[in-house]
Amino acid sequence: MTAVKARVAQGTPCWVSLMTDDLEGAKTFYRALLGWEFGPGPSQLGVYVRATLNGAKVAGLGDQPLGTGHPVEWTTYFAVDQADDVAQRIRECGGTVAVGPLQAADAGRLAIASDIAGAVFGLWQGEQHHGWDVRNVPGAPAWAELLTPDQEAGFFYDMVFGSGVERTVRPGALRDGPPRWRVHFAVADPDLTAAQAERLGGRVLVAPHDTDRGRVARLADPQGGRFSVVGVTP
């Protein structure tokens, strides 16, 4: 188990957030699948809740009004020391800053950006809230992986955040959908989790299979939000 209580190094994944057009439906799905409970979060960008696992913060879910045209998707946030400075570097390196930087009450400062291939990610300058409290236990985030056709993607993130932080980048691994960061949640049994996701109205996009990271399955929630699960020892 990895507990996270203090500010983490710049460029480290520190939070994941889902924007969905059915917040109550998403809460029902993830509560049953991953054991989450929910409490209020910052409301600067609309209705937003924080998911907790046995009291530890693990993720956020936000309400995306119908008709916006934006896909239901998980966004990976990276810790930064100064969101405004990093946002400027993103622009200088050919990326795009779509939202912010803006203040999320006393929790911290955030921005939403995309890299040179269009993969969306977030910046999080933690103040009262530094990110997830726990990872690599069943129900918590495990890691983030970039799927992109761009062979230069790793250099972009090194220039923006600095080198030396592990971020899984797999150029050429993109098989479906646009370039994106894929979040993996830890579970005790990916096979049982995949079957349960289907019973709850979700979909199995790629059946459970063995990888060098462990046994993995790629799933989608009932609203279409894609994510993966990876088996860990409880």
Mean pLDDT score of the chain, rounded to an integer? 89
Please check the confidence at residue 26 and state whether its pLDDT lies above 70.
Answer: yes
Query: Per-residue pLDDT tens for 87-117?
Result: 999 999 999 999 989 998 889 999 999 999 9
Residue 200 sits in a domain of what CATH number? 3.10.180.10
Residue 181 forms part of a structural domain: yes
Long-range contacts of 80-84 (CB under 8 A, 24+ apart): 80/10, 80/11, 80/123, 80/124, 80/125, 80/161, 81/10, 81/125, 82/125, 83/109, 83/110, 83/111, 83/123, 83/124, 83/125, 84/109
Residue 204 forms part of a structural domain: yes
Residue 1 forms part of a structural domain: no
Long-range contacts of 47-52 (CB under 8 A, 24+ apart): 47/23, 49/23
- Residue 178's domain comprises 7-231
User: What's the pLDDT score for residue 164?
Assistant: 60
Residue 2 forms part of a structural domain: no
Q: Number of structural domains, the chain?
A: 1
Query: Per-residue pLDDT tens for 171-181?
Result: 556 566 788 99
Residue 103 forms part of a structural domain: yes
Residue 79 forms part of a structural domain: yes
User: What's the pLDDT score for residue 69?
Assistant: 67
Please check the confidence at residue 5 and state whether its pLDDT lies above 60.
Answer: no
**pTM score:** 0.91
